[in-house]
Amino acid sequence: MANPSLRIGHGYDIHPLIEGRPLVLGGITIASAKGLEGHSDADALTHALADAIFGAVALPDIGVYFPNTDPACKGMNSQLILKKAIEEARKLGYELLNADITVIAEAPKLKPHWAAMRTQLAETLGVAPSVIGLKATTNEGMDATGRGEAIAAYAVVLLTSTD
């Protein structure tokens, strides 16, 4: 059967916010009293986006490609993970049409950083910045994200067949 012409993908990630770590989100470092904890740079936004791309082409999640038990992945720049995801999708004959990303964070305010994030993510993916939608919301004080203990991200992508 020929490749379907369109494939949708969804990704989700969450990392704890702790003191003493830089806050890396969407491939940029943001001034913040707390940063995300994780084996890599813990960029929850980029992880959700990469998982959405892997999922769209029915490949395993990023934990399979980049295990958090692998010393080589320690402190890793997650743009490398995202690059791997789009490369694997392209090998299977798909290109990213658009991505829609929602970050759930109580603080800091992310609006001033959207442009820089979009530029970085577009560069990593080799796509136009206009295909990357970024938005944020709070959890209204509820749950770990609402208490400022974590940042979560959801990503939806649409891929088109290049065959």
CB of 10 to Mg ion, least distance (A): 15
40: Cβ contacts below 8 Å, ≥ 6 apart:
47, 66, 68, 73, 74, 75, 76, 77, 78, 81
Q: Based on CB atoms, which residue is closest to Mg ion, 74 or 91? A: 74
Question: Does 113 help bind Mg ion (rule: CB under 5 A)?
Answer: no
List the one residue out of 95, 124, 128, 139 whose CA is nearest residue 26: 124
Q: Based on CB atoms, which residue is closest to Mg ion, 95 or 149? A: 149
Q: Is the dihedral of CA 140, 144, 150, 153 positive or negative?
A: negative
Question: Does 106 help bind Mg ion (rule: CB under 5 A)?
Answer: no
DSSP secondary structure letter of residue 95:
E
Residues numbered 8-67 forming contacts with Mg ion, rule: CB under 5 A: 13, 47
Question: Residue 151's beta-bridge partner residues?
Answer: 15
Angle of helix 44-56 relative to helix 114-125, nearest 10 degrees, comes to 40
CB of 68 to Mg ion, least distance (A): 8
Task: State which residue has the least CB distance to Mg ion.
Answer: 47
> Binders of Mg ion: how many residues, by CB under 5 A?
2
CB of 22 to Mg ion, least distance (A): 15
Q: Based on CB atoms, which residue is closest to Mg ion, 39 or 90? A: 39
39 close to 63: Cβ distance less than 8 angstroms: no
Q: Based on CB atoms, which residue is closest to Mg ion, 25 or 128? A: 25
Q: What are the residues binding Mg ion (CB under 5 A)?
A: 13, 47
